[in-house]
């Protein structure tokens, strides 16, 4: 039954890859005081995956390079999550066209060693291109998709055909996600029906059924949530981070958004975590910006109380002093402006010239949720740091 979960997730998450835009949070000379950069090839997204077999599991999705797929060089987006047998993964093959459009050519599912299932690959006869910006609100769209399923155990391949219909029902909604209220959300509602395909339990189960789906998409954050009404499956974003260009020769910019709460008490954005080495130059200034907002919609709109989470701007051995200021507008998430939310900002523009030891350090933002708090806090952070190359 777990294969059903992966098929639905791969289909519904791959369909709106259009949101995974081209530009990224990495690299050059941009200011940290800018809107949150859209999903890119340097972004890793964290999801909560609801499993048909019961319970949930943390899943990540990230760009994983390129492969030859059906004679064409395709980008690979890798989703993976733990199971009792080990790590299970799905590779989605396609390419980004723009910030709002992408092509999907197929996907592969890989089971951990010892699992009772066999790996398989779905290859579409014609790659499917979706352009979220071109879908008018309230106008039903239809897509017929056909392809072939091949199995790693050498059983004969199976052909299938499905019809998908969907409508953009909202183009700027405010949505209560797992990491707080998000504005500027596009909502797509639709369903899929397997028209042809049999001889495999997954296809036999779905053939002729009309399976509904609902996708919540944000132009900068990407896929916030995928729901399959009537089925205990789907995904919900819990956060994401972008490591920029760790191999950059001069400056790198990294960013992260997530929630701190009783269940997830720590938020960390670190140059070391991104590059795997102490590659920050202590002799030149780094810029670090943190934005706090109550995750709850009503509290964000009514409370003028600063979230008293513990915030630290750190190096390997030291830390930088800071203070918070409130603002009625968001730097990171300008699409939320006008909702009445209050934001709190702390900013550091410092070097660590007095850091002991040789050059080559880290710059880090750490936010901790204290025991005495109960209401979750959304955290957005960005660090632009000078790169040290010995």
Give the CA distances from residue 40 to residues 96, 123, 227, in Å, rounded to whole numbers and listed in that order. Answer: 9, 24, 23
- Same structural domain, 217 and 299: no
158 contacts 199 by C-beta, under 8 angstroms: yes
Task: Say how many CA atoms lie within 13 Å of 172 toward its Cβ.
Answer: 6
The secondary element (H helix, E strand) that includes residue 174 is: strand 158-177
Domain boundary among 238, 256, 271: 238
> Do both 67 and 115 map to the same domain?
yes
Q: Are residues 289 and 163 in the same domain?
A: no
CATH number (domain holding residue 354)? 2.60.120.1310
Could you please report the per-residue DSSP string of 304-338? -PPP--EEEEE-SS-EE----EEESS-SS-GGGTT
Which pTM value belongs to this model?
0.86
Q: Which of 238, 273, 288 is a domain's end point?
A: 238
Residues 220, 281, single domain; the answer is no
Cα distance between residue 217 and residue 222, in whole Å: 6
Is the domain of 257 the same as that of 232? no
Let me know whether 49 and 192 are in one domain. Answer: yes
Clarify whether residues 328 and 277 are in a common domain.
yes
pLDDT per position as a tens digit, 355-381: 999 999 999 999 999 999 999 999 999
Pick from 238, 264, 280: which residue ends a domain? Answer: 238
pLDDT in tens, 93-127: 998 776 567 789 999 999 999 888 889 999 999 99
Cross-strand partners of 217: 186, 223
* SS3 (DSSP) at 12: helix
- With a CB cutoff of 8 Å and minimum separation 6, the contacts of 325 are 344, 345, 346
Residue 239 Rama label (left phi>0; alpha psi -120 to 50; beta)? left
| One domain for residues 254 and 232 | no
Q: Is the pLDDT of residue 298 over 60?
A: yes
How buried is 80 (Cβ within 10 angstroms: 0-12 exposed, 13-18 middle, 19+ buried)? Answer: middle
Output the pLDDT for position 229: 84
- Strand partners of residue 368: 266, 310
**If you count them, how many residues does the chain have?**
390
Are 67 and 105 members of one domain? yes
Q: Which residues pair with 327 in a beta bridge?
A: 343
Mean pLDDT of 49-55: 76
Residue 201: predicted pLDDT: 65
Q: How far apart are CA 12 and CA 32, in angstroms?
A: 33
Per the structure, the count of domains in the chain is 2
Is 36 in the same domain as 158?
yes
Residue 294 CA to residue 342 CA, distance in Å, equals 8
Binned at pLDDT 50, 70 and 90, residue 161 comes out as confident
Is the pLDDT at 134 greater than 90? The verdict is no
Residues 249 and 300 in one domain: yes
d(CA 133, CA 122): 27
CATH of the domain at 202: 2.40.360
Query: Do residues 225 and 257 share a domain?
Result: no
What is the share, in percent, of the chain residues with pLDDT greater than 90? 64
Nearest to 363 by CA among 310, 289, 313: 313
How many other C-beta atoms are found inside a 10 Å radius of the C-beta of residue 70? 13
**Residue 144: other Cβ atoms inside 10 A:** 13
Is the pLDDT confidence value at 15 over 50? no
- Transcribe 118-166 into DSSP letters: --EEEEEEEEEEEEGGGS-BT--EEEEEEEEEEETT-PPPEEEEEEEEE
Q: In terms of residue numbers, what domain contains 264?
A: 243-386
CB 105 within 8 A of CB 122: no
């Amino acid at each position: 039954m777990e294969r059903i979960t992966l098929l639905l997730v791969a289909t519904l998450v791959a369909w709106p890859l259009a949101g995974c835009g081209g530009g990224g949070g990495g690299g050059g000379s941009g200011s940290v005081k800018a809107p949150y950069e859209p999903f890119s090839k340097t972004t890793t997204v964290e999801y909560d995956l609801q499993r048909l077999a019961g319970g949930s599991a943390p899943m990540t999705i990230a760009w994983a390079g390129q492969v030859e797929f059906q004679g064409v060089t395709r980008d690979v987006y890798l989703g993976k999550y733990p199971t009792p047998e080990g790590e299970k993964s799905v590779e989605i093959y396609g390419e980004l066209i723009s910030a709002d459009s992408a092509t999907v050519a197929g996907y592969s599912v890989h089971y951990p060693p010892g699992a009772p299932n066999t790996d398989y690959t779905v290859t579409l006869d014609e790659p499917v291109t979706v352009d979220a910006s071109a879908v008018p609100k309230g106008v039903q769209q239809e897509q017929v998709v056909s392809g072939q399923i091949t199995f790693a155990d050498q059983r004969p391949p199976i052909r299938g055909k499905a019809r998908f219909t969907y409508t953009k029902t909202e183009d700027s909604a405010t949505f209560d996600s797992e990491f707080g209220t998000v504005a500027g959300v596009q909502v797509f509602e639709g369903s899929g029906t397997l028209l042809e395909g049999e001889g495999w339990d997954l296809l036999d189960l779905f053939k002729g059924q009309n399976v509904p789906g609902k996708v919540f998409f944000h132009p900068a954050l990407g896929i916030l949530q995928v729901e399959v009404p009537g089925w205990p499956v789907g995904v919900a974003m819990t956060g994401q981070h972008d490591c920029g260009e760790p191999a950059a020769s001069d400056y790198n910019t990294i960013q992260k958004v997530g929630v701190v709460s009783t269940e997830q008490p720590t938020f960390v954005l670190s140059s070391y975590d991104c590059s795997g080495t102490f590659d920050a130059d202590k002799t030149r200034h780094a810029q670090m910006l943190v934005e706090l907002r109550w995750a709850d919609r009503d509290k964000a709109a009514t409370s003028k109380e600063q979230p008293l989470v513990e915030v630290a701007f750190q190096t390997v051995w030291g830390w930088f002093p800071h203070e918070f200021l409130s603002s009625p507008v968001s730097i990171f998430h300008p699409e939320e402006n006008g909702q009445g939310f209050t934001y709190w900002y702390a900013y550091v523009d410092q070097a660590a010239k007095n850091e002991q030891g040789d050059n080559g350090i880290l710059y880090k933002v750490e936010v901790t949720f204290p025991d005495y708090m109960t209401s979750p806090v959304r955290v957005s952070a960005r660090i632009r740091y000078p790169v040290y190359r010995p």
